[in-house]
Amino acid sequence: MAVREIKTYPEKVLKQKAAPVENIDRELQRLIDDMIETMYAAPGIGLAAPQVGVSKRLIVIDVSRKEEEKTPLIVLINPVMKEADGEMESEEGCLSLPGYITTVKRAERVLVQGLDREGRPVQIEGEGVLCRALQHEIDHLNGTLLIDRISSIKREFFKKRFQKALSKA
Ligand code: NI
């Protein structure tokens, strides 16, 4: 296993729609292991394959750091949002937008289907932190970032702040 470099805004891979995973092979298992290690090392509660530069529909989530109720580590291949109900608003950050935290509106309950790392169909129903993480990571597979979900005024503010950071680099 190895910690991979996390791609940050404005890298192009983060804006691409990721392709479905077609083969659950050894290479994919290595990618999954690396993503898990990268997520824990960050530390973060979720990671999508495009964030390590691989434009494939694969996410890992472990919200146990942020939740009383211990949800085990989730690996989801080709996740599909089957249901999304209600609305909630809360603060989110993203490993690809280091240091940036903003309030985002999300569904308050989702039902997601996909495959586990062995290729078995799984269905996950999420509320609370898990629900937000599922929506956030699936967004990454569609090239959608946190900053695409905020008001245009907040986005302009973000861009100004980011340009400042870029010019300092
Ligand atoms: Ni993110």
Instruction: Tell me if the bond preceding 10 is cis, omega within 30° of 0.
Output: yes
4 within domain boundaries: no
Neighbours of ion ligand 1 (CB under 5 A): 94
1 within domain boundaries: no
- Measured distance CA(85)–CA(162) in Å, rounded: 33
- 54 alpha carbon – ligand 1 mean position (Å): 14
Number of Cβ within 10 Å of residue 116's Cβ equals 14
Burial 34-44 (b: 16+ CB within 10 A, else e): bbbbbbbeeeb
**Structure confidence at residue 65 (pLDDT):** 79
- Give the closest residue to 56 by CA, choosing from 38, 87, 42, 77: 77
**Structure confidence at residue 163 (pLDDT):** 78
Q: Find out whether 29 and 117 touch, Cβ atoms under 8 Å.
A: yes
**Structure confidence at residue 166 (pLDDT):** 66
Summarised one tens digit per residue, pLDDT across range 122-165 is 999 988 999 999 999 999 999 999 999 999 999 998 888 877 76
41 within domain boundaries: yes
Summarised one tens digit per residue, pLDDT across range 59-86 is 999 998 777 667 789 999 999 999 999 9
Q: Is 22 a catalytic residue?
A: no
146 within domain boundaries: yes
pTM above 0.85, yes or no: yes
**Structure confidence at residue 61 (pLDDT):** 97
106 within domain boundaries: yes
- 39 alpha carbon – ligand 1 mean position (Å): 11
24 within domain boundaries: yes
**How big is the chain, counted in residues?**
169
User: Residue 62 belongs to a domain with what CATH number?
Assistant: 3.90.45.10
Summarised one tens digit per residue, pLDDT across range 14-55 is 999 999 999 999 999 999 999 999 999 999 999 999 999 999
Number of domains into which the chain is organized = 1
Domain boundaries, position 135: 12-168
Task: Enumerate the β-bridge partners of residue 84.
Answer: 110
CA dihedral of 165, 50, 142, 19, whole degrees rounded to 10: 150
144 within domain boundaries: yes
- 138 alpha carbon – ligand 1 mean position (Å): 9
**Structure confidence at residue 2 (pLDDT):** 94
